[in-house]
A and B are shown apart, each in its own frame.
Chain A
Amino acid sequence: MAGRDSVLITGCGIICAIGQDRKQVLESLLATRTGVGPLRYLKTGHTEFPVGEVKMSDAEMESSMGIAPGTPTTRTALMGMMAMREALDQAGLTAADLPRTGFVDGTTVGGMDKSERYYLDFIGNDSRNEYIGTHDCGSCSEMIADRFGRFRFITTISTACSSAANAIELAADMIRLGEADIVVAGGSECITKFHLNGFNSLMILDHGQCRPFDRDRAGLNLGEGAAYVVLESRESALRRGVKPIAQLSGYGNACDAFHQTASSPDGEGAYLAMMKALADAGLEPADIDYINAHGTGTPNNDLSESQAMRRVFGDCMPPVSSTKSLTGHTTSASGSIEAVICILALENGFTPVNYAFENTDEGLVVPNMKLEPDRPLRHVLCNSFGFGGNDSSLVISNVSEN
């Protein structure tokens, strides 16, 4: 069995509200430019909620991917293809490499964008039957994979907002055990009326720009997007002669086991996930130079996560920020979108800013408000927590740290 230093990241791709590729996302992060704004693409009556939409229509993404108009696809699958293309390109992978490459995807909404549009047709006639088969989570992953060739293995994790993080964990386990040399992992999720209304019914959407870790925080802004990382064994990367961009040093998954939608007051699940990730990486809290928090902006999450971070880091709290203040909460994709943001921070040496923070809350950590350029980062921690207490943490490291 391969050791903990064996899981390299040799490519990544991203699309979200602050950019349609790595370069655009990096520019937005360095300029602290939010992608949250008025609704533009989703057809809903709830125009009062700002969202972090990908600034492309389905037709524009289809055109970018060379998909003929009228081909059954979903927005989740289209965003996934955009991010997958960039990740495979950076890792230098072509169709010829895919039969020995796994794909672990994360989504929950799946093809709900089309199901909510054509539901009455599904019931009443046969005009939209081709979209019934694109409803479930797994079909999205298959559509994304099939665009590029024959992957050796495909599965889909659906643990709500930690789906993509857990996909990365399974992929890394596969590499460590030698089940595969290369596994692409992450998640994709578009905004739908279904979950915009679902989050609204739970009364956790902010009517303005979200303010993670702020005293007056009033909920989250929904976002959307996709991101994938290419995980690869050290031997395979050496053999192919590709340069790693980062390393996945450790990871942990734990269950809060408290409530279906609320986090525990002491953040037990979050605490356990972070402790497991640090132990897995063989690191001490002081080794972590930046935390990309789950930080949704809901009163409950930010309090619970702050308690958990204080329990883990005590007096050596590194800079913390929630980049959901820029991207919106990209739900099932957030784990990989924020993992790619962490990789960009490691590669370029800066700490992303927690946008829109104004007022300190005694019970919460004070997030990072100043972008420090030229700040070398060794190891960063990336948190993703989901409904039902599915909590996961990743430790991503600079390649020069090994």
Chain B
Amino acid sequence: MYQRIDIISAKQVSIQQPLCEEWMTSPVVPSGQFVRAMDPDFRQFVTPGESRRLGKLLKRALATSLSALEEGGIRNPDAIITGTGFGSIENTELFLDALVREGEQMLKPTQFMQSTHNTASSLIGINTKSHGYNSTYSQKGLSFDSALYDAWLQFRLGKIGNALVGAHDEMSPVFSGFMTKAGHVMQGETCSEAAVSVLLEADSTKPSMCTLEDVRILNRPTNEELSQVLSQMKADVCMTGRSGNAGNDALYDFLGDDVPQCSYKPLFGVNFSSSAIGFYAAACSLKAGHVPSVLNGGRGDVPCNSILLVNVVGGRHYSFVLLKAICGR
């Protein structure tokens, strides 16, 4: 059995500069109700043919996955596990729109194929010729947390030595309106897009960003259950899903004010893959030895050796992920 699970690489495409950590010092300040991601140059990840055929979510999933695998020095991961709230919603919308407005003729098979949620996981499998464990989760803003939980179980069962875990959500103008109407994005929040891939390896010999210590997910927990989790998962800093919206932020009041809290949503916006951004930002912070000031409302860097990620979805799903710096173990 392994001694520790290392996070050996983490890559993002979001409304910040893609595939880099420029946001830690020079962030783009989001404004408006809906902001699209900044795409990298896809040419190094996909052929021109693929570029025409694949939707944005899939191109971003390939870009973050292939970059993470390359940096981690792993070609065929033992497991590929993805979270997505809506899947390739642009293709879904095109197919749905044509079906509703133009009727049941002349519908495009490519749009239908890409509307299926598991296309990212399977495309990465096809691209890297990986025949191992492959799965996809779709539970709103808990999708990444669910994928990470699955990887955590596979490691503990000894079924895998490494895992590529990701979360990918794209957004369209129409569906960003739906996000607001359904209450997934609230007053004062910016609806955004995110693609994140992280590579985990048991007892890695490669440089490690931090280690994964524990994952817990609860539905509608009691106050006693929440207190118990907090007493068992202590950290220097809590990285939460606070966004600036009062209703959303009140969901994190149970954390109290003993431990400093930072948040990623003001910088990266809100989407169903937001918590994957939180995980990525926490890993980058532990690698740097501090949470950068930009995640602390500009009030200065927060030195830390451990971070507890806390994600509350729809006021009912509570996810807790404990990460530790290599020197802090």
Give me the interface of A with B, judged by CB distance under 8 Å: 1, 44-46, 99, 108, 110, 112, 115-116, 119-120, 122-123, 126, 129, 132-133, 135-139, 141-142, 145, 150-160, 166, 170, 173-174, 176-177, 179, 193-195, 197-202, 253-261, 268-269, 272, 386-390
Interface residue total, chain B, C-beta cutoff 8 A: 65
CB-nearest residue of chain A to B112: A198
Apart from the given pairs A122-B178, A151-B219, A202-B109, 9 other A-B contacts in the complex at a CB distance below 8 Å: A137-B138, A150-B220, A155-B139, A155-B142, A158-B118, A158-B136, A253-B134, A256-B125, A257-B122
A45–B104 CB distance below 8 A: yes
The one of B116, B130, B139, B149 in contact with A156, judged by C-beta atoms closer than 8 angstroms, is B139
Partner of B139, one of A154, A202, A254: A154
Instruction: For B138, list chain A residues within 8 Å (CB).
Output: 110, 136-138, 156-158
A120 touches B100 (CB 8 A): yes
Write the nearest CB–CB distance from B196 to chain A, whole angstroms: 18
Chain B residue numbers with a CB within 8 Å of A198 are 95, 107, 109, 112-113, 115
Question: Which residues of chain B are near A120, meaning CB under 8 Å?
Answer: 100-101
The interface residues of chain A lying within 8 Å CB-to-CB of B119 are 260, 387-388
20 contacts between A and B (CB under 8 A): A108-B118, A116-B96, A119-B100, A132-B181, A142-B314, A153-B217, A153-B219, A155-B137, A155-B149, A156-B137, A156-B138, A157-B138, A158-B136, A159-B118, A177-B153, A194-B99, A197-B112, A255-B133, A257-B125, A390-B122
List of 3 A-B pairs having minimum Cβ-Cβ separation, nearest first = A388-B122, A198-B112, A255-B134
**With A119-B100, A138-B85, A173-B153 in contact, is A129–B130 under 8 Å at CB?**
no
Which residues of A have CB within 8 Å of B177? Answer: 123
**Residues of B contacting A197 with CB < 8 Å?**
95, 99, 104, 107, 112
A257 to B109, CA, bound (A): 20
- In the complex, the answer to whether B146 meets A388 with C-beta atoms within 8 Å is no
- The reply to whether the CB of B327 lies closer than 8 angstroms to some CB of chain A is no
Q: A197-B99, A389-B122 are in contact. Are A253 and B133 (CB under 8 A)?
A: yes
Supposing A254-B133, A387-B122 touch, asked if A129 and B100 sit within 8 A by C-beta, the answer is: no
CA distance A173 to B149 in the complex (A): 11
Chain B nearest Cβ from A116, distance in angstroms: 6
Query: With A and B bound together, what is the CA distance between A264 and B117 in angstroms?
Result: 21
Chain B nearest CB: distance from A326 CB in Å? 25
A256 B131 Cβ-Cβ under 8 A: yes
Contact A160 B134, CB 8 Å, known A137-B139, A194-B95: no
What are the interface flags for B165-197 relative to A under an 8 Å C-beta threshold, 1 for contact and 0 otherwise?
000000000100110011110000000000000
- Could you say which of B104, B109, B132, B157 contacts A44, with CB atoms under 8 Å apart? B104
Residues on the B chain within 8 Å of A112, using CB: 96
Q: Are B108 and A386 in contact (CB under 8 A)?
A: no
Chain B residues in 8 Å Cβ range of A137 = 117, 138-139
Q: How far is the CA of A198 from the CA of B115 in the complex (A)?
A: 10
Determine if B134 and A157 form an interchain contact, defined as CB atoms under 8 angstroms apart.
Answer: no
Give the distance in Å from the alpha carbon of A195 to the alpha carbon of B112 in the complex: 8
Q: When the two chains form their complex, are residues B136 and A257 in contact, meaning their CB atoms are under 8 A apart? A: no
Q: What CA separation (Å) do A387 and B110 show in the bound complex?
A: 13
Which residues on the B side are within 8 Å of A202 (C-beta)? Answer: 109, 112-113
In the bound assembly, the distance between CA atoms of A152 and B184 in angstroms comes to 22
Which residues from chain A contact B150 at a C-beta distance below 8 Å? 170, 173
Q: Across the interface, do A255 and B132 meet the contact criterion of CB distance under 8 Å?
A: yes
Is the pair B125, A389 in contact by a Cβ cutoff of 8 Å? Answer: yes
Contact with A along B215-243 (1 / 0, CB 8 A): 00111101000000000000000000000
Does A257 lie within 8 Å of B178, measured CB to CB? Answer: no
By the criterion CB–CB under 8 Å, are A45 and B135 in contact?
no
Chain B residues closer than 8 Å to A199, beta-carbon distance: 112
Which residues of chain B (308-326) have a CB below 8 Å from chain A? 314, 316-317
Cα separation A197 to B107 with both chains bound (whole Å): 7
State whether the Cβ of B121 lies closer than 8 Å to any Cβ in chain A.
Answer: yes
Residues of A within 8 A of B123 (CB): 260, 388
Question: In the complex, which of the residues B113, B115, B137 contacts A261, with contact meaning CB atoms closer than 8 Å?
Answer: B113
Establish whether residues B135 and A390, one from each chain, have CB atoms under 8 Å apart when the complex forms: yes
B126 & A259 in contact (Cβ 8 Å cutoff) = yes
In angstroms, how far is the closest chain A Cβ from the Cβ of B195? 17
Q: Does B87 contact A (CB under 8 A)?
A: yes
Which residues of B have CB within 8 Å of A122? 178, 181
Residue B22 is within 8 A (CB to CB) of chain A in the complex: no
Is B206 at the interface (CB under 8 A from chain A)?
no
Residues of B within 8 A of A390 (CB): 118, 121-122, 134-136
Q: Which chain A positions have C-beta within 8 A of B140?
A: 136, 138-139
- The CA-CA distance from A386 to B300 in the complex, in Å, is 49
Interface string of B91-107 (1 = CB under 8 A from A): 00001110111011001
Contact check, A119 vs B118: say whether CB atoms are below 8 A apart.
Answer: no
Contact across chains for B129 and A257 when beta carbons are under 8 A apart:
yes
Partner of B99 from the list A154, A193, A269 (CB cut-off 8 Å) is A193
Quick check: B133 and A193 within 8 Å, CB to CB?
A: no
Shortest Cβ distance from residue A46 to the other chain B in the assembled complex, whole angstroms: 6
